[in-house]
Chains A and B, each alone.
Chain A
Amino acid sequence: MSSLEIHDLHVSVETKEGPKQILRGVDLTINSGQTHAIMGPNGSGKSTLAYSLAGHPKYTVTSGTVTLDGEDVLAMTVDARARAGLFLAMQYPVEVPGVSVTNFLRTAKTAIDGQAPALRTWVKDVKGAMEALRMDTSFADRSVNEGFSGGEKKRHEILQLELLKPKFAILDETDSGLDVDALRVVSEGVNRVKENTDAGVLLITHYTRILRYIKPDFVHVFVDGRIAEEGGSELADRLEAEGYDRFLTSATA
C-alpha cells in the first residue's frame, strides 16, 4: 500500500504585484485505493494544489511537506515525480505539434517503467484502452492534443492514466467541458484504473455531477487555500443542495 502525505502545505504564485499566497496550510493524506474529492469555489486554490504536487515551475512551495511513501516529493523534478508514481490529468492539456500520440505514449511508458514496453502486449494494451474510452484508432497518428476537442483531450488524459498506471492520480477538473456521455466514458475509465491498479485518486472538481459516477470515500471542501470542512460522500450531496455560500461567508468574515 502506498501513501501520499501532504502536511501544512503553503504555496505562492508569482504575480506582477509580487508573490501571492494561494495555499495556506493544506493537510491531506491519501492511501492506495482511496478516492478523495476536493471541492470548492473558483479561486479557492484547488488547481494550485494539483499543479504544486506535479511540480509546475509557476508555483513556489513556501513551507510544508509532501511525501510519497516517505520520499520527499518536493525535492524531485517534475519528471521524477511522475516516475515516482504521481499522475496529473490536466484541465487544459497542452498541444505538442508533430509528436504523435503513439510516440508520446510509448516514450512516456518507457520513461515511467525505466524500460521500453514489450511491443506486442503494448500495442494491444493501447488499442484496448482506446476502445474502452471510445477513441477512434486514428487518434494514435494525430499530434498530441493538436486539434483535439475538449472531450477528446480529457479522454486522452485518462488514456494515459490507464496505460501509465500511477500510484496516485490527480484529476484536475476532468469533468469540465464534458457532456453527459463523455463524462460517463471518462468516469468509467477512472473506475477501471481504481479497480485494476488500486491507485489513490484525488478528484478536483467544482461540481458534484462527476461524483455520481466516481464515488468518493472522502470529500474535502477547499476555501481560501485550505480545507474548511471534511466528510464522507454525504458532504457532496449537501454541497449540491446548498452550494458554497456558507463557506464563502465564513471565509470573508
Chain B
Amino acid sequence: MTSTQTESTTSDVAPTGLSTDHSRAAADGAHTHGTGGTPQGSRAERVTSFDLDVITVPSGREEEWRFSPVAKLAPLFAADLASSGVRTTVVESPEVTVEIVGRDDERLGKAGVPGDRTAVTAWNSIKEATVVTVPAQAIASAVTSIRVEGINNTPTANHLLIHAGALSESVILLDHIGSATLTETVEIVVDDGAHLTVVSVQDWATGAVHASSHRIRLGRDAKVKHVVVTLGGDVVRLTPDAEFTGEGGEVEMIGLYFADAGQHQEHRLFVDHAVPRCKSRVTYKGALQGEAAHTVWVGDVLIRKEAEGTDTYELNRNLVLSDGARADSVPNLEIETGLIEGAGHASATGRFDDEQLFYLQARGIPEGEARRLVVRGFFAELIHSIGVESIEARLLASIEVELSKSMSVIEGTAPVTA
C-alpha cells in the first residue's frame, strides 16, 4: 500500500517570503504531489537496466523526458559513443589513489543501475573508467580535484568511480569545463562509516550538451554530502540517485543552478530509502533569467516498507529574475510505511520580491545593487553549507560572474541575446 505526501509541508519553509505557486504549476502540469495522476505508478517500478535493448531511445513523451530538449540530447542516445570528446585529469590528495581501468574491472557497475537512455548508452560505450579510491580509514589532507575538460563535440561517454573506503574522510571536486557532448556516469560508492563530500560543478562553455547519471551507494553509517552546481552549457541534465544499503546512512544533497537565456538545466533526484533508520536532506535552489531559460527539478523520494525510522526532507526553490524564464519543480514523496521519523517536501517558485527591492532602495541602495544583494542572499546559506572553504569562495565568485551577466540584461546595459 502506497500513501503519498500532500500539501502539508509548503507553508513552514518560506523564509524568503516566496510563496508556493501551485496555481501556475497546476496550469503547467509542472508540480505534482505523490504519484497519483502520473502515468508512471511508483518510482520503484521505473525500469532500470544495463541493457541497451531494455532502455530504448525515448520519444520525449516519457515521464522522465517530458521536460527535456530531447532533440539536443539525441546524439547521446546512440549505442556506440566515442571517448575522445573529453580529457579527464585528476589531482589527488596524497592519501588517494587514481587508476585508469578497463571496462571489465569488477569494481565498476556496482552503484545502482542505469535508469534512462543516456545512462545506459554511457555504460555500454565506455572502454575505460577513471577510478578514484580513498583507502579505508584514510583521512584525506587535501581536496582531490577531477577535471573533465571538453575538447570537441563528438558524442562521448565517460565513466568515473569514486570509492570511499570504510571510515575514510575525503572531499572530491569534480569540474566540467570546455565544451563537449557528453554522457557521463559518476559512481559514488561509500563504504561503512565513511564520510565523503562530492562537489560536481558544471561550468561548461556555450554549446555543451551534458547528461550525467550520479549513482551513490551508501553503506552502514556512511555520510555523504553531494553538491551539484550547474552554471554553464546549453543543456545539462543530471540524475543523482542515492541508495541506502545499510542502517544509519545519511545523505545531504545540495544543488545550486543559475540558468541564463536559452539554457536548459535539469536535475532529477531519486533517494531510495530501502533500509531502516537512514536520513536524507535535499536542498536545491535555482535562479533564472532571460528568454527561454528553463530549469527542471524533480525530486523523487521513496520510503520502502522496510525503511522504518526514515527521516527525509526535500526542498526546491526557484527565483525567477526576468520574464520569459520557466522553472518546473516536481517533488514526489512515496511512503510505504507509517513508522518513520519524518518526511516532507516543499517547493516554491517566486518572482523577484518587489518589497525586498523597495526596502533596500529606501536605504539608498541602487536597484542593481539591491538585486545583487537579494540573489547573493538567496544562495549564500546554501553555499556556506558546503563546508569546504576553498570551494565556497570559488562558488561565491562564480555567482558574482553570473550576476554581472544577468544584471546587465535586467538593467538593459547590454543587448539581450538568446
Residues of A within 8 A of B (CB): 54-57, 77-79, 81-83, 87-88, 90, 93-99, 103-104, 107-108, 111-112, 143, 146-147, 160, 164
Contact across chains for B362 and A82 when beta carbons are under 8 A apart: yes
Contact across chains for B358 and A56 when beta carbons are under 8 A apart: yes
Known: A97-B377, A98-B379. A164 touches B363 (CB 8 A): yes
Contact across chains for A88 and B362 when beta carbons are under 8 A apart: yes
> Can you add 16 more A-B contacts, CB < 8 Å, to A95-B17, A99-B374?
A55-B361, A57-B358, A79-B367, A79-B370, A82-B361, A93-B359, A94-B356, A94-B358, A96-B359, A96-B373, A96-B377, A98-B380, A108-B363, A108-B364, A112-B364, A164-B363
Chain B 293-328, CB-CB to A under 8 Å as 1, else 0, gives: 000000000000000000000000000000000000
A111 — which chain B residues lie within 8 A by C-beta?
363-366, 369
A-B contact pairs, 23 of them (CB 8 A): A54-B358, A55-B362, A57-B354, A77-B361, A78-B361, A79-B367, A81-B362, A88-B362, A93-B359, A94-B17, A94-B355, A96-B373, A97-B16, A97-B381, A98-B376, A103-B373, A104-B373, A107-B369, A107-B373, A108-B363, A108-B365, A111-B363, A111-B364
> Please, how many angstroms separate the alpha-carbon atoms of A50 and B353 in the complex?
20
5 tightest A-B CB contacts, nearest first: A98-B377, A82-B364, A78-B361, A108-B363, A111-B364
> Please, how many angstroms separate the alpha-carbon atoms of A82 and B374 in the complex?
19
B415 within 8 A of partner (CB): no
> Please, how many angstroms separate the alpha-carbon atoms of A55 and B361 in the complex?
10
B16 — which chain A residues lie within 8 A by C-beta?
95, 97
Give the interface residue-count category, chain B. Answer: 20 to 34
B377 — which chain A residues lie within 8 A by C-beta?
96-99, 143
Closest B residue to A107 by CB, please name it.
B365
B362: contacting residue among A78, A96, A103, A143, CB under 8 A = A78
B98 within 8 A of partner (CB): no
A112 — which chain B residues lie within 8 A by C-beta?
363-364
Residues of B within 8 A of A (CB): 15-17, 353-356, 358-367, 369-370, 373-374, 376-381
B358 — which chain A residues lie within 8 A by C-beta?
54, 56-57, 78, 94
Of B17, B362, B367, B380, chain A has the most CB atoms within 10 Å of the CB of: B362
Contact across chains for A99 and B364 when beta carbons are under 8 A apart: no
Minimum CB–CB distance for A114 against chain B, Å:
9
Known: A95-B16, A107-B373, A111-B369. A160 touches B379 (CB 8 A): no
B360: contacting residue among A54, A87, A96, A98, CB under 8 A = A96
Contact across chains for B369 and A98 when beta carbons are under 8 A apart: no
A147 — which chain B residues lie within 8 A by C-beta?
15
> Please, how many angstroms separate the alpha-carbon atoms of A124 and B14 in the complex?
34
B374 — which chain A residues lie within 8 A by C-beta?
96, 99
Minimum CB–CB distance for A170 against chain B, Å:
10
Minimum CB–CB distance for B130 against chain A, Å:
36
> Please, how many angstroms separate the alpha-carbon atoms of A134 and B377 in the complex?
26
> Please, how many angstroms separate the alpha-carbon atoms of A88 and B358 in the complex?
11
Closest A residue to B378 by CB, please name it.
A98
> Please, how many angstroms separate the alpha-carbon atoms of A87 and B376 in the complex?
25
B381 — which chain A residues lie within 8 A by C-beta?
97-98
Known: A77-B367, A111-B366. A97 touches B15 (CB 8 A): yes
B359 — which chain A residues lie within 8 A by C-beta?
90, 93-94, 96
Minimum CB–CB distance for A207 against chain B, Å:
24
Known: A77-B367, A79-B367. A54 touches B362 (CB 8 A): yes
Minimum CB–CB distance for B285 against chain A, Å:
10
Closest B residue to A82 by CB, please name it.
B364
B363 — which chain A residues lie within 8 A by C-beta?
79, 82, 104, 108, 111-112, 160, 164
> Please, how many angstroms separate the alpha-carbon atoms of A82 and B362 in the complex?
6
> Please, how many angstroms separate the alpha-carbon atoms of A93 and B45 in the complex?
49
